[in-house]
Amino acid sequence: MAETAVGCSMPKHLGDLVEGVVSPSACAFITKQTEFGAMRSDTPETREARVRLYGTIFAADGTLAESGSSAPIGGRANIENNLCTLLGAFPTFRFTPVKIVVNGDVVFYEAANEAVIHGRMVRYPAVYRVVLENGEVTQGRRYHDRTEWFRPLENVGLRELFAGIGDDCPRPGPAFTGPGLTAPVTDPMGHLAYLGRLSGAMTEVRLAPDQAAGKFQEYRGTVRAKGRTIDFGMVVGTGPGVLRYYFDTLPLSYDDAETAALFTKLITGAAPPAR
């Protein structure tokens, strides 16, 4: 259960979802992030309001990075433009909080994301890790598998880094889950196979522990994949009987030109939101 600062007015329904000592700065972020996740953006007016709220989460010179991508997006205006493009591709995007852990000025916000993309509902988990100063995000990182965005567009052609990995031999006891899996896996051999695929997709791995809070540990650095060196990171979450990985398989399966082509298809070919 979280210990909240005097005057903190976080949404009461969050309750036991929040852990740690919640400062006024963390309270401001959690409140706005939760409001943003629930907003609609399927008209120009609601989309503008949502982008404007998102901008207020960040410091004027704040940064935002994906878990595996090119250089971070710098500055509130550029972050707002990025979100505007994203919501234009799938305006039904929203999320609900799963677990929020605070450690001083660092917050890990675990969420269940969903969006209608090309007429099909897509659901995927995410962790948003932020560093705060005076109630604003100075450094934000999104840990989720963007490959899921392209599933409705690519159908059977989508490259699946972890295709075929599952619970061939289910057993009681600890489980793990991560990108590319449809359910937790309890078979230790499945876990070894998963980690083997991940390590086989990259070389020159230089990852080191970064921020941490409660059950979440972030690792950040660079790896070499698909012929180029990229910034990369992951979050590992521990919980009762389960280990969770959060990272992006997209840059491990597609090079920069292929990724750009996928995004062009996403932005120009997405279907209107389901009513």
Please write the tens of the pLDDT for every residue from 215-228: 999 999 999 999 99
Least confident among 69-73, 106-110, 133-137: 69-73
Distance from C-alpha of 90 to C-alpha of 78, rounded to nearest angstrom: 19
pLDDT band at 249 (very low <50, low <70, confident <90, very high): very high
CA neighbor of 263 nearest in space, from 154, 161, 116: 154
Q: Specify whether the backbone of 118 is left (phi greater than 0), alpha (psi in -120 to 50) or beta.
A: left
DSSP characters over 89-120: H-TT-EEEEEEEEEETTEEEEEEEEEEEETTE
Helix (H, G, I), strand (E, B) or coil at 146: helix
Count of Cβ atoms closer than 10 Å to residue 85 Cβ: 12
Average pLDDT over residues 32-61: 95
Average pLDDT over residues 31-57: 94
User: pLDDT, tens digit, for every residue of 158-199?
Assistant: 999 999 998 877 888 899 999 999 899 999 999 999 999 999
pLDDT averaged over every residue in the chain: 91
pLDDT band at 118 (very low <50, low <70, confident <90, very high): confident
pLDDT band at 41 (very low <50, low <70, confident <90, very high): very high
Average pLDDT over residues 29-37: 95
Q: Output the pLDDT for position 172.
A: 83
Q: Output the pLDDT for position 178.
A: 97
67 contacts 220 by C-beta, under 8 angstroms: no
Distance from C-alpha of 124 to C-alpha of 186, rounded to nearest angstrom: 20
